[in-house]
């Protein structure tokens, strides 16, 4: 079976990490092997205080930390999401790859929406949008969300439990 890929996209503080952690826990509970990829704004968002970060800061192209039960490799080079997926596939057999962010990429995705500010759906690649998670109030107040639902038949989900259930149904089918 080829692995399933799902992106979870949305603006900051919309619950992307929480959803991924919840789905990850559910998938591993039923025996799935899962990889997670996260988009970060910059290299400096990682923890610089550890030796592996210091080596990168001093000019190393690759820095690896080997721990009792894991390996962490950081490469100071820009990679496309596709290259990252291919690399993960080459070193680990996974049933599912969950991706946080990369909002313009072409993979099946779930959009998490909170209208704290004026946001624009045009900032996201919605070609493979599976569903949208938002509040009833946000849905009622945002015409673009209504258009997705009514004209493009994209399901809108209001409850967190329902969101997790729908994601699990997609990933395990």
Three-state secondary-structure class, residue 55 = helix
In which residue are the tokens 């799935």 written? 32
Which residues form the domain of 124? 4-172
Q: Tell me, what CATH number does 155's domain have?
A: 3.40.50.300
Counting the structural domains of the chain, the total is: 1
23 backbone dihedrals φ, ψ, rounded to 5°? -65, -40
> Tokens representing 52?
């592996």
Tens digits of pLDDT across the chain (173 residues): 578 999 999 988 899 999 999 999 999 999 999 999 998 765 554 454 577 778 878 888 888 888 888 888 888 888 899 999 999 999 999 999 999 999 999 999 999 998 765 577 888 999 999 999 999 998 988 888 888 888 889 999 999 999 999 999 999 99
Rounded to two decimals, what is the model's pTM?
0.87
139 backbone dihedrals φ, ψ, rounded to 5°? -60, -45
Q: What is the pLDDT of residue 171?
A: 96
The answer to whether the beta carbons of residues 98 and 170 sit under 8 Å apart is no
DSSP state of 16: H
Between the CA atoms of 107, 111, 116 and 119, what dihedral angle is there, to the nearest 10 degrees?
A: 50
């Amino acid at each position: 079976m080829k692995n399933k890929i799902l992106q979870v996209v949305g603006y900051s503080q919309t619950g992307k990490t929480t959803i991924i952690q919840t789905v990850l826990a559910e998938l591993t509970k039923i025996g799935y092997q899962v990889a997670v990829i996260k988009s970060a704004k910059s290299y400096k968002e990682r923890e610089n205080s550890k030796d592996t970060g210091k080596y990168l800061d001093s000019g190393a192209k690759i820095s690896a930390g080997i721990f009792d039960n894991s390996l962490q490799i950081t490469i100071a080079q820009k990679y496309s999401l596709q290259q990252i997926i291919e690399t993960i596939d080459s070193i680990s057999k996974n049933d599912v790859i969950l991706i946080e962010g990369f909002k313009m990429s072409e993979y099946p995705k779930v959009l998490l929406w909170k209208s704290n500010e004026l946001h624009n759906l045009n900032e996201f690649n919605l070609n493979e949008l599976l569903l949208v998670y938002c509040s009833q109030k946000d849905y009622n107040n945002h015409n673009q969300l209504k258009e997705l639902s009514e004209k493009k038949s994209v399901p809108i989900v209001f409850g967190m439990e329902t969101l997790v259930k729908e994601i699990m149904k997609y990933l395990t089918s």
